[in-house]
Structure 1
Amino acid sequence: MSGSSLDGLDLACCSFTLAARPPLHIADWSIDAATTIAYPPEWKERLRQATTLTTPQTCELHAALGTYIGQQAATFLTQHPELRPTLVGCHGHTTHHDPAQGYSIQLGDGAHIARQLQLPVVTELRSADIAAGGQGAPLAPVADRYLFPTHQAFLNLGGIANFSIRTAGDQFVAGDVTGCCQILDRLAAERGLAYDAGGALARSGNWLPQLADSLDTLPYHRQPYPKSLSNQWVVQQLWPLVRDTQASVPDRLHTFTTWLARTIAHDLLQVSAGAAAGAQQLLVSGGGARNTFLVDQLTAALQPMRVAVADGLAGDYKEAALIALCALLRQQGLPNSLASATGARHDTINGALHAA
């Protein structure tokens, strides 16, 4: 899994046991080994500039990233000789996402990954849903349905914040809320930091009401769910409002983090009430879950709903496990995108399968 925050490549080797008879459920699963490989500066810059490339340059990057991912995965497996994976799933790195125009593009050529690993590889996990009229996102409800069946409400704090809520009939209402770690990390970078550890800088800052008001005025934030975001929207529309506000980094971090928590809480509680889900606890995962100031703000804003941070490998590598599960479902010819979450006309089977 390569996220929009560009912090690195998540690798996880997972085991799944499918139920022997319908309806589909996962009888058992585990993350047997996992690691995060930070992108070297040159790769981070290449991916950051990916939306500006010509078509030949994009094709070259697509192939090169596939080779790089395959090499990193191969090295990972040599460090765990006890593991014997039979299938690989790769989300790829999103560069363009516009469901209204019928496409979502992720770089990382599966044929090159398969060549490096000599294993079958599933990529392109969004296009069938988009072709069926969906947003192609979020995919997270697939993991929420099958891997966390005892929970009702979920929040991922990645480069983009997104949530899903289990409703009657094991359906899901879901969508992207707004930019998250992409904005927090860009602000921390102004202080020469990779990220705001624990939200310490944000906690030390002050509230900027004009910045919060400007964030509220963005039209996307008023659109109904299901909805999804592109990285371009975060960089071109959300980030400039935060970047160009004349205030200190701590004050902008404090304001954006607090505003983010309140916006998530508002949308989540509103959707939860509309879906009659009655969720009592929210399971939080993703890199932003380590930002204790953000979690504290969420906890305060979501009362009386309880906030629980997913722990262990399941918390840190939930998205990687999701992609592994989506690849397995694709191989089995089973739906791996939920129409109730994406707005598609029906559940879909997504993914291009590249032979070893």
Structure 2
Amino acid sequence: MRKKDYFVIGVMSGTSLDGIDLAYLHFSAENNYNFKILEAQTIDYSEEWRENLNSGISLNQEELKDLDKKYTRYLADVILQFIAEYKIENLDAICSHGHTIKHEPQNGYTLQIGNLPEIADYLQSNVVCDFRVQDVALGGQGAPLVPIGDQLLFGEYQYCLNLGGFANISEERNKQMLAYDICAVNTVLNYFTKKLGKAYDDKGQIASGGGLHEKLLQQLNNLDYYAKKPPKSLGIEWVKAEVLPLIDSEEIPIPDILHTYTIHVAQQVAKVLDNNVGSKILVTGGGAFNDFLIQQFREYSNCEFIIPDSKIIDFKEALIFGLLGVLKLEGKVNVLSSVTGAKKDHSSGKVFAFEAI
């Protein structure tokens, strides 16, 4: 008999290094998948951990193994603190994305640390994790994985747009889900805001006070990635190789960089929309709080940009990775080949079962 109710914790760490998102979730799976976010919290990274994760891309194999072990232990401790704080019991599973260190699907490789088998013993719970590797092995991009959740949980919207380290979007077209990364967002905006001594540009206030640099805007819009057709995805490697050197090639005041880059994001998003008045877009991720960015979306598109309640904004990815874990436990498809370009739809992720002695 199919289980009707699942209680899980969804765990997500994004490339913008804002912190670890944790959501205690109830899924009712009787007909469709209905959900409730029962508790949710973001644990900020310390400067030491931000630096460790940010520099992970340059580590050798032995150093990466060591970082993976330490991060798995650290991640488990964060999850245990969350469980203790909210007195959570009787979990079906903890469903964790881990943290992406390297993402090179064109080379058949992706690495998310924090997914070692011992995490189940640390947590004394079943763990579903490491969702991307199988898709890359099947010839896919390993990303984005969120669209199946968009389809099952948020199907009333024409588009679901997430604004985190990268902007990614999903839509149903010709009865198939299509999704991909559009461009970098907070990985770039936060990089330059930190040069001003701030973690991020609150509500886009610094950007709104800057001026437009026409040449930079044109150069950004001409990046080769934007001419590629989906399926396609981005990683921090692309930002460091293509975007940051381009911006740094000229001496531009940081408020002007932020202003110009925000308009660049708005233009790239508008390019992939139908821009019809009746089209509704669910906007989530940290960028949904950037008032200047949302204002620019409305300047360049006729679509209706809908900002949901803060729990959905902040924890949608943790919510959907919780759903991916539930689908894996049920043996159901949780990754769509129409989205990632893999050879077939599949049920991805590793299940580490905890057996009490």
* TM-score, length of structure 2 as denominator length: 0.92
Please give the per-residue CA displacement for 1:272-293, whole angstroms capped at 9, x wherever unaligned. 89xxxx9711110000110000
Quick one: distance in 1 between partners of 2:85 and 2:186? Answer: 30
Query: Cα RMSD over matched residues?
Result: 1.6
Distance in 2 between residues matched to 1:18 and 1:311, nearest whole Å: 23
Aligned in 2, Cα 1:243/1:279: closer, same or farther, shift over 3 Å?
farther
2:324 corresponds, among 314, 326, 333, to: 326
Deviation, structure 1 residue 268: 2.8
Percent of paired sites with the same residue: 36
Q: Which amino acid aligns with 1:298?
A: F
How far is 1:134 from its partner? 1.8
Aligned to 1:339: 337
Question: Partner of 2:156: helix, strand, or coil?
Answer: coil
Q: CA deviation at 1:117?
A: 1.2
Q: Which residue of 1 aligns with 2:348?
A: 350
Instruction: Return the offset for 1:180.
Output: 0.5
> In the TM superposition, what are the counterparts of 1:45-60 in structure 2 within 5 Å?
45-60=51-66
Structure 1 gap segments, 5+ residues each: none
Q: Take 1:6 and 1:236, find their aligned partners in 2: how far apart are those partners?
A: 19
Amino acid at match of 1:336: N
Q: Which residue of 2 aligns with 1:194?
A: 199
Query: Which residue does the alignment assign to 2:9?
Result: none
SS in 1 for 2:347: coil
Tell me, yes or no, if the aligned pair for 1:67 and 1:109 is still in contact at 8 Å. no
- Aligned pair partner of 1:100 in 101, 106, 109: 106
Aligned partner letter, 1:29: F
Q: Which residue of 2 aligns with 1:41?
A: 47
The amino acid that maps onto 2:115 is: D
1:254: Cα distance to partner?
0.3
Q: Is 2:127 the partner of 1:121?
A: yes
Does the Cα contact within 8 Å between 2:278 and 2:304 map onto a contact in 1? Answer: no
Asked if 1:238 is matched to 2:243, the reply is yes
CA distance in 2, matches of 1:318, 1:67: 25
Q: What's the counterpart of residue 7 of structure 2?
A: none
What is the match of residue 229 of structure 2? 224
The offset of 1:50, in angstroms, is: 0.2
Q: CA deviation at 1:83?
A: 4.5
1:299-347 C-alpha deviation (Å, 9 max, x unpaired): 11111x1111122312210000111111111111111111121122321
Determine which of 82, 87, 90 is the counterpart of 2:93: 87
Matching residue within 137, 140, 155 for 1:134: 140
Q: Deviation at 1:146? A: 1.1
Q: Does 1:281 align with 2:280?
A: yes
Contact 1:110-1:122 at 8 Å conserved across structures: no
Within 2, Cα distance between the matches of 1:279 and 1:130?
36
Q: 2:168 aligns with which of 145, 162, 165?
A: 162
In 1: Cα distance, 2:30 partner to 2:248 partner: 50
Secondary structure of residue in 2 paired with 1:259: helix
For residue 48 of structure 1, report the CA deviation from its aligned partner. Answer: 0.6
Tell me if the contact between 1:129 and 1:135 (Cα under 8 Å) persists in the aligned partners: yes
How many residues align structurally?
A: 343
SS of residue matched to 2:117: helix
Pair 1:62 & 2:68 matched: yes
Alpha-carbon contact 1:63-1:112 (below 8 Å) kept = no
2:313 matches 1:299: no
Partner of 1:190: helix, strand, or coil?
helix
Contact 2:115 2:130 in 1 (8 A): no
CA distance in 2, matches of 1:109, 1:140: 19
In structure 1, distance between residues paired with 2:61 and 2:108: 18
**Contact 1:13 1:85 (C-alpha < 8 Å) held by counterparts:** no
Q: Is the 8 A contact 1:208 1:255 kept in 2?
A: yes
Measure the CA separation in 2 of the matches of 1:82 and 1:343: 38
Instruction: Say if 1:163 and 1:268, in contact at 8 Å, map to a contact too.
Output: no
Equivalent of residue 6 in structure 1, options 17, 22, 26: 17
Task: Quote how far apart the aligned CAs of 1:82 are.
Answer: 4.7
User: Following the alignment from structure 2 to structure 1, what is the Cα–Cα distance between the partners of residues 341 and 144?
Assistant: 10
TM-score (norm 1): 0.93
CA distance in 2, matches of 1:54, 1:345: 31
Tell me the residue number matched to 1:178.
183
